[in-house]
Amino acid sequence: MGDDASSRLYVSLKEKSAENVGIRFEKLLFSAETEEAEVMNRIDDLNQRDDIHGIIVQLPLPDGLNTDEIIARIDPRKDTDGFHTETLRRFLAGDRDACPVFPRAVIELLHTAGGYRIGEKGLVIANSQLLGEVMTQALTLEGLQAEYMLSGESRENIAFKTREARVIVTACGIAGFITGDMIAENAVIIDGGISHIDGKIVGDADRATVEHKAKFLSPVSGGVGPVTVATLLARVTDAALKTFINKKNIKV
C-alpha cells in the first residue's frame, strides 16, 4: 500500500521467489488514500477463496490505517507472516509450528552458525516490544536463557548485556548500532537490521569492528532476508497441504 520504495522492493523479491518455486503470486496494489474498509473487504474476499493459501500484508502501512486490525482480519489459517494475534498467542504459549517467519529464519541461521550450547545466554535487541517478546520466545525454545532489550534503552545498559551474551539477535534498523567493543569473543550474531546509507544496504552491526571478533555474523544483505522469504514460502506450501488434506479427509 502507498508508495514506499522499500515495500515495493520486498514485494517484488517475494513475487520473484514465489514464481521460482511454482507458487502463484497475486499482487493487490492500493494507493495511500485507500479507505480501511476497502482493504478489509478485499481481505474478506481472499479469506473466502479456496485457491488462496496465504495472505501477506506488506508493512509499514500508510498513516491512518490500523495495522493490527487489518492483520487481524486475515484468516489465521492463511496468516503467512505469522503476525495474526491468534498465531502469536499460540507461539508465545509454546507452539513451535506457529513461529512467525522472521524468528524462524533467525533460528535457521543459528542452526547453520552453531557455536552455542543449551543454557547459554541469548539477547534480542529490537525496535518494538512485540518483536522482542516473539524473538525471545524463539531463542528460549532453542534452549537459550534469552531476554530482550529495546534499542531505545541506554547504550551503556545494552552493552553490559551484549558482552554477556553468546547469541545476539538484533533487529533495530540502526546502522552500526552494535560495535566490536560491545560483544564477547566468539559471539554468534544474527543481524536482522536494514538501513540505507549512501545508496548501500547495511545492518545493525558495525561489520568492520564486529566481524573479526564474532564467531559468526550474518551478512546484510543476503542473510536474514532471503531465509525469511524462503520460510514464508514454506508456510504457504504447508497451508496449501493442510487444505488439501482437510478436503480429502486424509488422516496423517
Domains of the chain, by residue range, sit at: 5-81, 98-225
- As a 3-state breakdown, the chain gives helix, strand, coil percent values, each rounded to 5, of 45, 15, 40
Instruction: Label residue 78 by pLDDT band (50, 70, 90).
Output: very high
Any bridge partners for residue 121, and if so which?
145
| Predicted pLDDT of residue 8 | 82
Residue type, 227: V
Any bridge partners for residue 214, and if so which?
none
Label the pairing between strands 167-171 and 121-126: parallel
Determine contact, residues 220/194, Cβ cutoff 8 Å: yes
Please tell me the distance from the alpha carbon of residue 2 to that of residue 183, in angstroms, as a whole number.
39
Q: Alpha carbon 194 to chain centroid distance? A: 12
Q: For 107-145, what is each residue's pLDDT tens digit?
A: 999 999 999 999 999 999 999 999 999 999 999 999 999
CATH label, 98-225, candidates 3.40.50.10800, 3.30.200.20, 3.50.30.40, 3.40.50.720: 3.40.50.720
Please tell me the distance from the alpha carbon of residue 189 to that of residue 213, in angstroms, as a whole number.
10
Count of alpha carbons within 13 angstroms of residue 104, beta-carbon side: 23
Q: For 79-91, what is each residue's pLDDT tens digit?
A: 999 999 999 999 9
Instruction: Give pTM, 2 decimals.
Output: 0.89
Any bridge partners for residue 169, and if so which?
124, 190
Fold for domain 5-81? Rossmann fold (3.40.50)
Determine contact, residues 55/74, Cβ cutoff 8 Å: yes
Q: For 146-188, what is each residue's pLDDT tens digit?
A: 999 999 999 999 999 999 999 999 999 999 999 999 999 999 9
First to last CA, the chain: 39
Same fold: 5-81 with 98-225 = yes
Cell of residue 191, nine digits: 543481524
